[in-house]
């Protein structure tokens, strides 16, 4: 018996192994993509994935347990990723998991059912992978559709239920209440989004700094926030007024904005200008004496809050206390440099401006890693390296202002970021973390200065693909990660409103569209004239004869392939049907309830009947016996029968009436 080609068993076995390997890879990618686990955990997961993949491909006799272990491990990895992932990448991994799982189960069932039938002599093996892939796609699409319907009906609660299993993330370098010199530079080059901001009724793009922690105490190596008076503000119905009536009545620039803050491991809130009203879903917030705001603990997932902020400087009235002038023992050259730079200044404002311009013009920003810590990093920056990160520039200016008896402090936060034109959100990335200076000036209060050279504030521009990816991430966070009962109600109301509008307007719109379409059709027919009539006749002929011509072309192609020995067993059926059509034109029609052998027996005896019998035996050997080597003989037998059938007279009508 000839080689029938790949069997259902082998094809299903190969397909299922590929699908199981894909399951393992999709699960590992889902665990690794959030960046939540350390390299040790990922190395262990990678080793387990590789071991299971090896077992799937190498273990033949005990393939069942290997497949079960692969599916179980993949499901466990996906559930683990669901607890820690907050990115739309998880949805892609989930979709891949569903598709591959459906494919593995379908192929595994085919493999089990065909275990004892290793040779498939019939049709059905052509395009096996494509047909199985189509089945898998349909099953996966149905699963995703059902999941989407359930998602709409059931708001997310699992993340809150598993919240206690989440580990607290480490505080982001340079964004907490303590900053060491050189620490913020470690965030450079990291392009992960840290914060998104949407400004309400924005008329033109704004260049703002998003103020976080205010640092007052300097020990020569690091800055710390004041630990004195901390006021706790109770939040009532998700809103708290943080400014007095006099401030809220003051004329000046104000903005209203919404913030979505990633879990950075810090309890500090990042706000623009001087906040007056704050919306946040927390029971209370804390206000530090340095006028910055904190939560009761670092948020474990993305935090949503909003505010109204006053953008102009706010006069505090009273000069700050001596703690804002405190300095550790310094290199005497620092105070001398401050006096030399401000020698011709006549006010605190011009002194601050002179120091800012000196640092911007005589020093260079560097994104390189800071050398090993020295005994006096600030003096090393000013007099030796003359280059560094933003916290070096801010520290140098704040310290020199204090040597001149001007109260000063360092502020950490984010620069203005980049605006996504697709959704209007500003995105602040990890590399946008920044430090600047606030100096207290008589009659003006705390005024911001940024001595870092402008080249340091080059932002990643949202272009092309990244803008779409960022917009997709925002949609995911808003409608998937943040989907709750209130959003469910809002979405249902929007759907209901759209349906009501459609129900009241569809009839009138349909009537107008139908009338316009009819008028255009009549005018076009008049212009087309005879050309349209010829086209119509041609289309009618094509409609009537097209399917038959297409079947004839396909049959001819199969006959050519069979003659060259490159066809499949299923191609023999097309050649057999060609033989039946040839006999039918001579008046010999095979009833549907006749077997092939019965049809041969009712033919009139003679050479032609013998040729039909020989053709039938060859066809059965190929079609049902899997003897593909005899496929090339069928076209030759058909040609011989074609030459002989012209001498075959019609069969006389039999009493059975089964054959004409």
| In the chain, domain spans | 8-154, 178-479, 543-647
Which position has the token pair 């600047």? 436
Q: Which ranges of 158-260 does DSSP label H, i.e. alpha helix? A: 158-161, 245-248
Contact assessment for residue 651 and residue 603, using Cβ atoms and an 8 Å cutoff: yes
Contact assessment for residue 308 and residue 302, using Cβ atoms and an 8 Å cutoff: no
Q: Indicate whether 398 pLDDT > 90.
A: yes
Contact assessment for residue 287 and residue 233, using Cβ atoms and an 8 Å cutoff: yes
Phi, psi of 346 (to 5 degrees): -115, -5
Which of the four pLDDT bands, split at 50, 70 and 90, describes residue 119? very low
Q: How remote is the C-alpha of 431 from its chain's centroid? A: 22
Could you tell me which residue, 299 or 438, shows the higher pLDDT?
A: 438
Model pLDDT, residue 641 = 77
Q: Indicate whether 406 pLDDT > 90.
A: yes
77-116: pLDDT as tens digits: 877 777 666 666 777 777 788 778 877 777 777 776 665 5
Q: Which residues pair with 419 in a beta bridge?
A: 426
How far apart (Å, rounded) are the C-alpha atoms in residues 307 and 495?
Answer: 30
DSSP annotation string for 528-554: HTHHHHHHHHHHHHHHHHHHHHHHHHH
How far apart (Å, rounded) are the C-alpha atoms in residues 356 and 362?
Answer: 10
Q: Which residues pair with 279 in a beta bridge?
A: 239, 306
Q: What is the DSSP letter of 167?
A: P
Model pLDDT, residue 487 = 56
271-290: pLDDT as tens digits: 998 999 999 988 999 998 88
Q: Is the dihedral of CA 305, 306, 310, 312 positive or negative?
A: positive
**By C-alpha distance, which of 299, 208, 292 is closest to 257?**
208
How far apart (Å, rounded) are the C-alpha atoms in residues 57 and 45?
Answer: 19
**By C-alpha distance, which of 14, 2, 1, 6 is closest to 120?**
6
Model pLDDT, residue 546 = 65
Q: Indicate whether 251 pLDDT > 60.
A: yes
Residue 448, classed as helix, strand or coil, is: strand
Q: Which residues pair with 644 in a beta bridge?
A: none
Model pLDDT, residue 394 = 92
Q: Which residues pair with 350 in a beta bridge?
A: none
pTM: 0.58
Q: Indicate whether 131 pLDDT > 70.
A: no
Q: What percent of the chain has pLDDT over 70?
A: 67
Model pLDDT, residue 399 = 95
Model pLDDT, residue 247 = 86
Which of the four pLDDT bands, split at 50, 70 and 90, describes residue 449? very high
Element (DSSP H or E) covering residue 97? helix 89-113
Long-range contacts of 183-186 (CB under 8 A, 24+ apart): 183/222, 183/391, 184/389, 184/390, 184/391, 184/412, 184/433, 184/434, 184/435, 185/367, 185/368, 185/369, 185/370, 185/388, 185/389, 185/391, 186/369
**By C-alpha distance, which of 116, 114, 108, 112 is closest to 136?**
108
């Amino acid at each position: 018996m000839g080689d029938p080609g790949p069997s259902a068993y082998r094809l299903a076995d190969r397909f299922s192994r590929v699908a199981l390997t894909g399951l393992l890879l999709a699960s590992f990618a889902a665990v690794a993509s959030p960046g939540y686990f350390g390299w040790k955990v990922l190395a262990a997961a990678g080793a387990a994935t590789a071991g299971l993949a090896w077992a799937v491909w190498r273990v033949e006799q005990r393939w069942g347990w290997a497949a079960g272990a692969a599916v179980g491990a993949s499901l466990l990895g996906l559930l683990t990723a669901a607890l820690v992932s907050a990115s739309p990448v998880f949805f892609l991994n989930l979709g891949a998991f569903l598709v591959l799982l459906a494919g593995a189960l379908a192929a595994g069932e085919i493999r089990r059912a065909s275990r004892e039938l290793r040779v498939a002599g019939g049709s059905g093996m052509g395009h096996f992978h494509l047909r199985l892939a189509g089945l898998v796609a349909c099953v996966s699409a149905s699963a995703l559709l059902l999941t989407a319907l359930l998602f709409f009906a059931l708001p997310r609660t699992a993340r809150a239920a598993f919240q206690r299993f989440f580990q607290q993330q480490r505080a982001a370098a340079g964004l907490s209440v303590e900053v060491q010199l050189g620490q913020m530079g470690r965030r450079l080059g990291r392009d992960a989004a840290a914060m998104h901001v949407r400004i309400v009724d924005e008329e033109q793009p704004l260049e703002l700094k998003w103020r976080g922690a205010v640092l007052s105490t300097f020990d020569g190596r690091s800055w710390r926030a004041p630990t004195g008076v901390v006021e706790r503000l109770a939040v009532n119905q998700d809103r708290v007024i943080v400014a007095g009536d006099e401030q809220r009545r003051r004329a000046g620039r104000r903005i209203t904005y919404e913030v979505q803050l990633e879990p950075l491991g810090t309890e500090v809130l990042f706000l623009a200008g001087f906040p007056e009203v704050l919306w946040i879903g927390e029971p209370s917030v804390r206000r530090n004496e340095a006028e910055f705001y904190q939560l009761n603990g670092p948020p474990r997932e993305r935090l949503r809050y909003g505010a109204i902020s006053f953008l102009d400087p706010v006069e505090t009235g009273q000069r700050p206390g001596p703690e804002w002038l405190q300095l550790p023992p310094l290199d005497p050259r620092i105070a001398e440099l401050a006096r030399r730079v401000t020698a011709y200044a006549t006010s605190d404002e011009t002194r601050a401006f002179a120091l800012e311009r000196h640092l911007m013009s005589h020093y260079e920003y560097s994104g390189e890693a800071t050398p090993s810590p020295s005994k006096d990093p600030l003096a090393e920056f000013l007099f030796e390296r003359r280059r560094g990160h933003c916290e070096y520039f801010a520290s140098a200016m704040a310290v020199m202002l204090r040597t001149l008896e001007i109260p000063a402090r360092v502020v950490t936060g984010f620069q203005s970021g980049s605006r996504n034109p697709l959704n209007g959100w500003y995105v602040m990335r990890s590399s946008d973390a920044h430090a600047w200076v606030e100096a207290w000036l008589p009659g003006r209060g705390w005024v911001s200065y940024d001595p870092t050279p402008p080249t340091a504030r080059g932002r990643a521009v949202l272009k092309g693909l990244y803008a779409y990816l960022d917009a997709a991430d925002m949609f995911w966070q808003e409608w998937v990660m943040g989907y709750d009962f209130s959003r469910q109600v809002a979405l249902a109301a929007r759907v209901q409103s759209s349906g009501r509008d459609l129900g009241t307007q569809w009839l009138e719109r349909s009537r107008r569209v139908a009338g316009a379409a009819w008028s255009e059709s009549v005018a076009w027919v008049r212009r087309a004239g005879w050309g349209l009539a010829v086209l119509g006749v041609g289309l009618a002929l094509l409609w009537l004869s097209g399917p038959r011509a297409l079947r004839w072309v396909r049959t001819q192609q199969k006959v050519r392939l069979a003659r060259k020995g490159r066809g499949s067993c299923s191609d023999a059926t097309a050649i057999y049907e060609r033989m039946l059509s040839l006999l039918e034109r001579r008046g010999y029609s095979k009833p549907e309830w006749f077997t092939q052998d019965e049809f041969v027996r009712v033919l009139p005896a003679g050479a032609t009947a013998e040729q039909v019998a020989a053709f039938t035996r060859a066809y059965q050997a190929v079609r049902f016996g899997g003897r593909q080597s005899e496929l090339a003989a069928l076209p030759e037998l058909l040609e011989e029968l074609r030459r002989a059938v012209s001498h075959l007279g019609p069969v006389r009508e039999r009493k059975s009436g089964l054959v004409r």
